[in-house]
Chains A and B, each alone.
Chain A
């Protein structure tokens, strides 16, 4: 895969290449690419003079980061307490059955990535699922699987 190193450098420069901004830099790269390619991490390590072990520690410690490519469509199912008591698990199970992957996985065609999140702060609308940033509130299991058919 071809990486645009200049783009990575831009992000690093925006944070003045400060070691303390490591997490902020990785977040920006993640939102640009949807994941953290190895080449990008190498560049960050080089420019910030931070050992790869520390970068790896951070990318595995924080949930926002992924070191594998993500699908074209990202499904987030909220598993917060309010959603849980209103049946979030059933929604998750149904979606998981419908697209054939478990939470945390991406399908082989890179179409969907399925993730759980611990509370999106939309507790009044539970259960909530978010597809590519679009919120679906008060979803019933069957309806959630139905919505997914609209995605290519």
Chain B
């Protein structure tokens, strides 16, 4: 591959790529992000190749494996161009029909189209599906158009234009000015103004400076960084390079969790391609700017997402946080000025440089500009990655885009911001989502995890869950975090087990305040948020656990029991056959009975009982009724 030495050569190269491409040429794109990969997109890809071969269409149809499209629950996702027909949940055996119907006869394969669960309407194109229709995919949009291993694809959609513009037409100060004017705030969670952060690093004295991409996405329930890094590593690299130029850094690091092997692979290819074309290395595009990048894999520690810990880890040490100041902008990696931003933050930079600060800041709210990618998961119909302008009400995200709560259950709360965030109840669903509004609710933007919970979710258990997670992940360096979280967890665990005492709630509140005030880093300072927010909005659930030994959501294992109602049992044996603990007694035409001693409360029996019978119920806070005597169990 030729090295590209100037913006003119870049444009010439781009023209050459585009001249080989034809928008009207048939093309199949297949989502190959991690979720689709898990649901079998690999086998679908093999089937596509074999099918095209057997029809002699191999040279007439392009096949492109793209990154995550976002509608993960409906994967594998296959889109047929030029029409843009979207097929969902595609299996290898469907491919034959897609090729013969859609390519040869230009007909739709109806059963693979999206069906709206509420109206029964079918949609044949991505832009018609409510999930996509209400989004604004500024950052994620390119994922569906490019193969993450093909630099040519990225150049074909305008890639590296922003880099050329920044390096050749703008001074570093102008770049920083543009980012400041765009009012971009860090997407890692805290929402610090990115331009200001860059300026600190630029103004810090020192010849050697570093820039770092934080892709240690440990937040349970959030995976937008994964999707971006896997689907479009080029844009992250381009953003990083522009930032390095603005700050005056000649070296960069990309810190990726080792749990994301595909992200590491795709990124490694993107870096190699960039090096070969001269987009990394010496004298990039003839601008005189030099920049190199290294990939560093994390080793499984949530705390390494915290910037001072991440830097320790980059140096090959245990990732323990350091007090700030000094901030990394002044004394970071190897003691040199360092700027760290999250993946999504870096990915916003090319957009800002290409389209300008004015365009960017026209999107969003007064204090939070641009879009935000959320991972909308949990008890919601359309799960997946969602990108919306800042300021969209929670209700629109969950009900318009997410399609509401499945199985006719009632919405209970939405948890935002992961372990640092909080739970928001239904009465505040009209709050506009931005950094400050969420903070006012006692929740947080965090990295953008949005977990929807229905009436079956126990909020006390959720708060306990986050404490358990954090107690496990606390690095243990400072006492308030190490002990504070552990003691809160002890009290919370006792409550969910029905061993809660009067005064526990007040004790929790005291410990939460102490931990919040005294912990060294953000992990400890924000750890009490899930407890405090659930106490604020769902205090009655705590009280039911403590005073009545009852779990209102029928979820806490120690407080519930499963019971077969004799009047409803038809003796079909479905539950008995499925029970993994052999806890069900019964026989043909006999009322079944659960042995409460043996029951592990896994809930398999409820799922196994035919919907027409619904003979099994969950109980909490009441004694389990005595089963009928063996002699009285025969059914007519």
CB-CB under 8 A from A18, the residues of chain B are: 316
Q: A119-B222, A124-B383 are in contact. Are A137 and B260 (CB under 8 A)?
A: no
Interface residues in B132-185 (C-beta closer than 8 Å to A)? none
Per the bound structure, the CA–CA distance linking A20 and B314 in Å amounts to 7
Provide the residues of chain A in CB contact with B475, threshold 8 Å. 61
Question: Do A122 and B318 touch across chains, with their CB atoms under 8 A apart?
Answer: no
B residues 556-581 in Cβ contact with A at 8 Å = 557, 578-581
In B235-269, which residues have CB < 8 Å from any A CB?
258-260
- Is B319 engaged at the interface, CB distance under 8 Å to the other chain? yes
A141 in contact with B602 given A81-B415, A82-B378, A125-B72 (CB within 8 Å): yes
- Which of B35, B72, B260, B451 interacts with A81 by CB under 8 Å? B451
Q: B302 at the A/B interface (Cβ < 8 Å)?
A: yes
A118 and chain B: residue at smallest CB distance = B220
CA distance A89 to B35 in the complex (A): 21
Say whether, besides A82-B451, A93-B602, A124-B384, A64 and B218 are in contact (CB < 8 Å): no
Which residues of A have CB within 8 Å of B469? Answer: 79, 118
CB-nearest residue of chain B to A50: B316
Listed stretches B114-122, B293-301, B340-348, B480-488; interface member: B293-301
Q: Which residues in A have their C-beta under 8 angstroms from that of B384?
A: 124
What CA separation (Å) do A54 and B318 show in the bound complex?
A: 9
Say whether A85 contacts B379, CB under 8 Å: yes
A125 to B259, CA, bound (A): 17
Is A151 located at the chain interface by the 8 A CB criterion?
no
Given A84-B465, A85-B379, A64-B299 contact (CB < 8 Å): yes
The one of B223, B298, B607 that contacts A140, using a Cβ cutoff of 8 Å: B607
Indicate whether B387 reaches chain A with its CB closer than 8 angstroms: no
Q: Which of B580-636 contact A (CB under 8 A)?
A: 580-581, 600-604, 607-608
Contact residues of A between 97 and 152, Cβ < 8 Å to B: 97-98, 117-126, 128, 135, 137, 140-142, 145
With a cutoff of 8 Å between Cβ atoms, the chain B residues found around residue A19 in the complex are: 316
B39 close to chain A: CB less than 8 A = yes
A23 to B253, CA, bound (A): 15
Report if B543 contacts A (CB, 8 A). no
Q: Give the distance in Å from the alpha carbon of A15 to the alpha carbon of B377 in the complex.
A: 39
What are the residues of chain B within 8 A of A3 when measuring CB–CB? none
User: Across the interface, do B221 and A80 meet the contact criterion of CB distance under 8 Å?
Assistant: yes
A47 at the interface (CB under 8 A from B): no
A63 CB contact (under 8 Å) in B38, B301, B451: B301
| A12 interface contact, C-beta 8 A | no
**Contact status A97-B313, CB under 8 Å:** no
A80 to chain B, nearest CB (A): 4
**A48-92 Cβ-contact flags toward B at 8 Å (1 or 0):** 000000100110011111000000000000011110111101100
Chain B minimum-CB-distance residue to A120? B259
B220 pairs with A98, CB closer than 8 A: no
Complex interface: chain A residues within 8 A of B227 (CB): 121
Number of interface residues of A (CB under 8 A): 48
Chain A residues whose C-beta falls within 8 Å of the C-beta of B217 in the assembled complex? 121
B375 within 8 A of A: yes
Q: When the two chains form the complex, which single residue of B38, B415, B604 contacts A137, counting CB atoms closer than 8 Å?
A: B38
Q: In the complex the two chains form, is A145's CB within 8 Å of B580's CB? A: yes
B418 contacts chain A at the CB level, 8 A cutoff: yes
- Indicate if A26 sits at the interface (CB-CB under 8 A): yes
Minimum distance in angstroms from A86 CB to a CB of chain B: 7
B32 within 8 A of A: no
* CB-defined contacts of B95 to chain A, threshold 8 Å: none
CA distance A142 to B603 in the complex (A): 9
Given A64-B258, A121-B223, A24:B607 Cβ within 8 A: no
Compute how far the CA of A87 lies from the CA of B39 in the bound complex, rounded to whole angstroms.
19
Question: Contact between A123 and B375 (Cβ–Cβ < 8 Å)?
Answer: yes
A17 interfacial by beta-carbon distance below 8 Å: no
A22-B316, A81-B418, A93-B602 known; A124+B72 contact, CB < 8 A = yes
**Residue B34 lies at the interface, judged by CB distance under 8 Å to chain A:** yes
Residue from A85, A122, A137 within 8 A of B223 (CB atoms): A122
Interface residues of B in 402-424 (CB under 8 A from A): 415, 418
CA distance A126 to B314 in the complex (A): 32
Taken together as a complex, chains A and B put the C-alpha atoms of A126 and B72 apart, in Å, by 11
Kindly report which residue of chain B lies nearest to residue A19, judged by CB atoms: B316
A24-B296 in contact given A81-B378, A90-B603 (Cβ < 8 Å): yes
B319 near A141 with CB under 8 A, answer no
B580 lies within 8 A of A94 (CB):
yes
A64, A121, A125: which contacts B39 (Cβ < 8 A)?
Answer: A125
**Contact status A61-B301, CB under 8 Å:** yes
B580 adjacent to A141 (CB under 8 Å): yes
Q: How far is the CA of A124 from the CA of B381 in the complex (A)?
A: 10
Chain A neighbourhood of B258, CB < 8 A: 27, 64
Which residues of the other chain, B, contact A65 by a CB distance below 8 angstroms?
299-300
Instruction: Scan B46-82; emit 1 where CB is below 8 A from any A CB, else 0.
Output: 0000000000000000000000000011010000000
CA of A58 to CA of B604, assembled, Å: 41
Complex Cα spacing A87 to B217, Å: 22
B319 x A61 contact (CB < 8 A): yes
B219 CB-CB contact with A under 8 Å: yes
Residue of A nearest to B605 (CB): A142
Separation in Å of the A38 CB from the closest CB of chain B?
19
Most buried by A among B297, B299, B579: B299
- Give the chain B neighbours of A90 by CB distance below 8 A: 601-603
A10 at the interface (CB under 8 A from B): no
Complex contacts, B608 vs chain A, CB 8 Å: 142
C-alpha gap A19/B316 in the complex (Å): 7
- The answer to whether A39 has its CB under 8 Å from any CB of chain B is no
Q: Mark B424-454, 1 if CB is under 8 A from A, else 0.
A: 0000000000000000000000000101010
Q: Which of B38, B375, B453, B604 contacts A128 (CB 8 A)?
A: B38
A-contact bits for B184-204, CB 8 A (1 contact / 0 none): 000000000000000000000
Interface assignment of B504: CB less than 8 Å from any CB of chain A: no
**B91 within 8 Å of A by Cβ?**
no
Q: How far is it, in angstroms, between the C-alpha of A79 and the C-alpha of B469 when the chains are bound? A: 9
Residues of chain B within 8 A (CB-CB) of A81 are 220-221, 377-378, 415, 418, 449, 451, 462, 465-466
Verify B297–A123 contact, CB threshold 8 A.
no
**Is B541 engaged at the interface, CB distance under 8 Å to the other chain?**
no
Taking CB atoms, residues of chain B closer than 8 Å to A80 are 220-221
- B34 contacts A121, C-beta separation under 8 Å: yes
> Which chain A residues border B276 with CB–CB below 8 Å?
none
Also in contact, A23 and B299, with CB within 8 A (given A82-B221, A85-B379, A137-B38): yes
Q: Would you call B37 and A135 a contact (CB within 8 A)?
A: yes
The 7 nearest A-B residue pairs measured at CB: A124-B72, A63-B300, A135-B38, A121-B223, A62-B299, A80-B220, A81-B221
18 pairs, A vs B, C-beta closer than 8 Å: A19-B316, A20-B316, A23-B299, A54-B317, A58-B299, A65-B299, A81-B221, A81-B465, A86-B379, A122-B35, A122-B38, A122-B223, A124-B377, A125-B38, A135-B37, A140-B604, A141-B604, A142-B602
New A-B contacts (19) at CB < 8 Å, excluding given A65-B300, A120-B259 = A20-B316, A23-B297, A23-B299, A26-B299, A27-B299, A61-B318, A64-B299, A81-B415, A84-B465, A97-B581, A118-B218, A118-B220, A122-B72, A122-B223, A128-B38, A135-B38, A137-B35, A140-B607, A141-B604
